Structures are given as structure tokens and as C-alpha cells.
Chains A and B, each alone.
Chain A
């Protein structure tokens, strides 16, 4: 079975992640959706790396993981800060972006 199927799988996972971001009000849930999207992208990278035969895709995926780890740390810290300040982590509440 061709590794390209993993790309399809990644597309499905990415779509689920995107839908999560759009639909869940809980910031942590949305954040997990983002993580899922990142992983889907990683899966694509690895799959293409396998198909091309080189290793650069894996290196790239590794970097993504590291950056994602850093991002998760900061993101969750922000969520905690917000929850302290507002007693809520609902995404619908911080309407200060309102024009």
C-alpha cells in the first residue's frame, strides 16, 4: 500500500483539527485541535519523505515538533493567565477584538 494513503489520512485529520478550532469554545480544546493539525502536517511531511526517499522531511517534522512543544508551553501559559484573569477560558468571551 502506497504511503500516499497516509497523506489522505493526514488530510482527514487536518480537517478534523480545523473543525475543532472552529467549533469548540473551550480554548484548551481548540488548542488540541491546533495540535492535531500540526501532527497531520507532520504526518504529511514524513509520508512525503518516505516517498521521496530522503530524510529531510523527517528532519523538518522534527523541527515542527520542537517548535510545537515550545508553542504548547507558551500557549498553555497564556490560557492559564487568561483563566486567572477572567475565570473563564471560553473563546467567545474575549471580545476585545471587536472593531
Chain B
């Protein structure tokens, strides 16, 4: 199976092309083609996984060289795939979650006339995402990296007849591009330093390079990661990206694409290993984002935006973990996988709710949906418990381990990171419970013409599968350190780590904080009535509702100066640069006008000038000669 890994990319890409080129003829069966393509890649992925399991741990990594891609000057880049434990983990996550969401979308998008295009874009996304994780060089990774950005752009703007959706799509693409800038610069540095941009050469040569160079590479890669993974300070696009159809939010903006930044950092582990500064920055970025996302999530009333903020926050956890070294990588990826399941499950649940509530997203208009939508309630509830970290559900095994790891280290770092992660867990419990209670419990706040009903099987079955995953995947993978053993050959290991506080104490503390968060939410949003109009906010809530003013900051720092700059430049180009040219022309014309006075048309003046000229020349010759 490993030798046909290229099919993983080729199949969905071919499906995308067929769906695009077939046009309206494919409207009848296009979505099933999309589902088939994603299912086939899921099967190939699973096949490859079992084939790899059959090998020794050492020989599980395999490179597949496809063809020479760019061969320009000293830059030689092959299109090649790197299949190892890390990339295969992602392949499984992407293909399985992807296939489930494809199935879900068949029902969710049933009434959309452009359903075929939707599936085409989803397939494009799958292809690009798999290219991203399977690439064996940074440059090829970049192709997938921008490819998922493109798919994300297309899907966020899927309903682009609404101007705000089109703007959101643009915003996502441009912010991502800002991150990509970092990746390009990183590749430039790598090429200058190592003469290559393939993982093998760069990561293999990292030992011999100077720390300054590696720090520069680390920081620029981090910039790329923050863009793609919606980390501080490039987090602003994710909330707006919820304008896309909900399955997209589930697949791209929760489970897979946004985690690519974590993948990039983990994949470049060898570089971060060698540079403490860059690693520290990664951890700081993660810590900031996890708190930021949690706070924002607590104040939003839009169910999808709460989940988006939650995604940001959870990826913050992963980043924080990735900033902690090899053992952190493993749990970053572990959390990434579990988060992929329960977050996708919850997004699909949210989609199911919206489906039932005629696309209402305001949680203040929900309430008491438990009875109307039992399956959704159960599956969502499992996801909720999982993200809270309630044992023995998935989140407990991944997130709590990250909190533990955050307490590892010396000096101020364990205390700052650890407490941040700990407090983040409490806030997470609060806002996720708030979401859950506001939606499914309390009093019904919907209007009469809405008739909540359970979604069709095509939608609920994927939700059930994901819920099962949310519940038991963590336990399954954590048992006997399965996941750790699986990934260690790729990420390396950093031996036994001892947190500054004892592990049982940490677990107790975490659970206590989670319980407190749940209790607070219960008291505020289940026991008490929730007003259907948001109450006038306090300053803190206002800030959180406005995404901590990130858009205002962006507007003040980039957009408004940028707009002024471009306007000024446009004006200056016309008035100054072009103006200078025209001024010159005017000057020449004025000179001509002045010299016209000599051209009086009077023969005698001309004769006079001729004689003068002759005399001057002759004198020069006579005197000079």
C-alpha cells in the first residue's frame, strides 16, 4: 500500500477535476463521486496503516520519490512523499474524518443547487491536505499548505452572494498568506543554509547549523504556523471563517487544516530542538492563544463562533505542548487527533441543530433541544465531556497530559505555562458547558414557526461514529502508551519528566477547576433563564465578544494605515511620479516657448544669429588654433 500512497492525493484530485469539468451534467451524481473518492482514500490510508503496523518500528518511515519537480539552478526539489508514523497519523485523521463529513454533507447540502461544487472543493481540500502531510520537502508541503488555504477560501466563500462571506473568505486567505510569508522566508533561509528544502537535508543538517539561523527558521516557521492554525497574532480569521457551511467548519476549521501549523512545528522538531528561544516563543504563542480563545468563547452567542474560539484555544494547547520538546510533540499530536474527533463531532452536532432550527445560530434562541434531538444531544454530549477532559473520555488522556507537561521545567516557565493551561481548562469547561446548556437544556426559547426535529441518518451516523471516537479513542491510544510508542521514532523522546507539582495533585486540580466551570455554567445557563437578547455587556464581556478587539487592532494597525498608504500611493503615483514626468514635459514646453522668441520669423534676426554663430566659431578656431 505504501507504494501507492500517491493515490491518496491523486484520487481526490481526479474527483475534483471531474466534478469541475463535468459541469451541470454531474449534478445528479457528483456528491456520491465525492463521497466515493474520500472513502477510497480512507481505505487506502487504513490499508497503509496496517501495512506499516506490520513492520518494525525502525523501518516504518519510507520515502516515495515521484518525479523531479523544480530543478532550477542549485535548487533541486523532487516531488516526493514521506510516509512515516507522523504523516500517517494525519492521513488517517484527515481521511476518516473527511469521509464521515462527506457523508454528512450529502444530507446537509441537499437543497443547495451547487452541491456538486461543494463536493469538488471538499475533494480538493482532501487532496491538498494529504499533500501537505505527505510531502517530503518544505516546498511541496507549501503546495499543500496553500492548496488547503485555497480550498478553505473557496468553501468559506461558498455562499459568496453575501458580501460578508466573501470578505471572510478574503480575510482568511490574506491572513494565511501573511503566515505563508514566513514559510517562504524560512525556505529561503534553509536553502541558503543547507542548499535544499527537503526534510531529510534540513532536519538532518540542523545539528551543524548555527543557533541564530535555526532560531530564524524556527520563528519564521512559527509565523506560518500561526497563520494557518489561527494562533496569536494571526487568529482573527477563524471566527469569520464560520461563514462557510458547517461541514466545512467541522472538517477544515476544526479538525484538520487549522492543525497544520502544529504539524509543521512538530515536523520541524529537529530545528526547534536546537533552539530554545524559538521553542519558548512557540510555547508563549500557544499559551496566549489558549487563554484568548477560551475568553472569547465564553462571551459569544453564535454557536459556531464558540466552537471556533474553542478550536483556537485547543490548538493553543497543542502549540504550548509543541513548545515543550519531543514529549510535547507526541501529546500535541495526540490532542490534535482527539480534538479532531470531538471537535468535528460537535461541529456536526451544531450543524444538525442549525439544520433543525432553520440556520439559526444564536444560542439565545435555542434551549431545551434535548428532547427534540436525542441523537444529536447524546453525540454532542459525548464531545462536550471529552473536551472537558472528563475521565475516561478522550480529552482526559490528551489535554490533561498537556497540562501536566506544562508544569515541567525550571524557573518561571512551568508556573506560567502550567497555570495558564490549568486556568484555560477551567474556562473551557465553563464555555463549553455554557454552549451545551444553552442549546440543549433550560427553557425553550425558539419561536413557534421553528419545529426542531432530528436530522436524517446520513447526518446522524457520522456524528455517532465521531462520538464513539471522542469517547474511546483517547483511552484506546493511551492504553499501554500505544500512541507514544507509535510516534516516538519520529519525534524522538526526552526521557522521564517530572512536573513541579505532583501528577495526582494536578489531575485533582484540573478536575476541580473543570467542575467549578461546569457548575458556574449550570447555575447561569440552566437554572437561570437566559434572556433572548444579549444583556448590556460589561467591558470585559464586550472585549471578549469582539474577539478581544482583534479586528479593531488589525484595522487600526494594518487596515486603516494600509488603506491610507495605498490611497496615498495611488494619488502620489498619479500626482507626484506621473506628475513629475508631466512637470518635466511642461518645463520642456516652457523652454520651447522661451526659445520661440528667438524664432521671430524675421529673416534679419536669423541672419544676425547666423553671423554671430559663425563669428564665435571662427574666433574659437583662430584663437584656439
Direct contact of A and B (CB under 8 A): yes
Residues of chain A having any CB pair with chain B under 8 Å: 18, 21-23, 25, 91-92, 94-99
Chain B contacts for A21, CB-based, 8 A:
604, 607
Given contacts A97-B599, A97-B606, A99-B601, 7 further A-B contacts (CB under 8 A): A21-B604, A22-B604, A22-B611, A25-B604, A92-B603, A98-B600, A98-B601
Instruction: Determine if B608 is an interface residue (Cβ-Cβ < 8 Å).
Output: yes
State the Cβ distance, A11 to closest chain B Cβ, in Å: 13
- Report the Cα distance A22→B607, complex, angstroms: 7
Instruction: Determine if B602 is an interface residue (Cβ-Cβ < 8 Å).
Output: yes
Out of A18, A22, A96, name the residue touching B601 (CB < 8 Å).
Answer: A96
- Report the Cα distance A18→B601, complex, angstroms: 19
Instruction: Determine if B596 is an interface residue (Cβ-Cβ < 8 Å).
Output: yes
Closest to A27 in B: B603
20 A-B pairs in the complex with CB atoms less than 8 angstroms apart = A18-B611, A21-B607, A22-B607, A22-B611, A25-B604, A91-B602, A92-B602, A92-B604, A94-B601, A94-B603, A95-B601, A96-B601, A97-B599, A97-B602, A97-B606, A98-B600, A99-B595, A99-B596, A99-B599, A99-B601
Query: 4 closest pairs, A vs B, by CB?
Result: A98-B601, A99-B599, A95-B601, A97-B601
Are B602 and A95 closer than 8 Å at their CB atoms?
yes
Are B603 and A97 closer than 8 Å at their CB atoms?
yes
- Report the Cα distance A49→B205, complex, angstroms: 96
Most chain A CB neighbours (cut-off 10 Å) among B601, B607, B608: B601
What 0/1 pattern do residues 573 to 606 of B give for CB contact below 8 A with A?
0000000000000000000000110011111101
Are B600 and A22 closer than 8 Å at their CB atoms?
no
Chain B contacts for A23, CB-based, 8 A:
604
Are A91 and B599 closer than 8 Å at their CB atoms?
no
Chain A contacts for B608, CB-based, 8 A:
22
Interface size on B, residues (CB 8 A): 12
Interface residues of B in 603-620 (CB under 8 A from A): 603-604, 606-608, 611
- Report the Cα distance A25→B604, complex, angstroms: 8
Chain B contacts for A96, CB-based, 8 A:
601
State the Cβ distance, B622 to closest chain A Cβ, in Å: 14
- Report the Cα distance A21→B607, complex, angstroms: 8
State the Cβ distance, A96 to closest chain B Cβ, in Å: 6
Closest to B600 in A: A98
Closest to B596 in A: A99
- Report the Cα distance A82→B602, complex, angstroms: 16
Closest to A24 in B: B604
What 0/1 pattern do residues 226 to 256 of B give for CB contact below 8 A with A?
0000000000000000000000000000000
Chain B contacts for A18, CB-based, 8 A:
611
Closest to B595 in A: A99
Chain B contacts for A97, CB-based, 8 A:
599, 601-603, 606
Are B600 and A95 closer than 8 Å at their CB atoms?
yes
- Report the Cα distance A23→B602, complex, angstroms: 12
State the Cβ distance, A15 to closest chain B Cβ, in Å: 10
Chain B contacts for A25, CB-based, 8 A:
604
- Report the Cα distance A98→B605, complex, angstroms: 11
Chain A contacts for B599, CB-based, 8 A:
97-99
Closest to A95 in B: B601
Are A91 and B603 closer than 8 Å at their CB atoms?
yes
Chain A contacts for B600, CB-based, 8 A:
95, 98
State the Cβ distance, A19 to closest chain B Cβ, in Å: 10
State the Cβ distance, B336 to closest chain A Cβ, in Å: 81
Chain A contacts for B611, CB-based, 8 A:
18, 22
- Report the Cα distance A25→B601, complex, angstroms: 14
Chain B contacts for A95, CB-based, 8 A:
600-602
State the Cβ distance, B609 to closest chain A Cβ, in Å: 10
State the Cβ distance, B599 to closest chain A Cβ, in Å: 3
- Report the Cα distance A92→B608, complex, angstroms: 13
State the Cβ distance, A33 to closest chain B Cβ, in Å: 10
- Report the Cα distance A97→B610, complex, angstroms: 15
Closest to B614 in A: A18
- Report the Cα distance A2→B611, complex, angstroms: 30
Interface residues of B in 166-215 (CB under 8 A from A): none
State the Cβ distance, B77 to closest chain A Cβ, in Å: 65
Interface residues of B in 247-270 (CB under 8 A from A): none
- Report the Cα distance A19→B607, complex, angstroms: 10
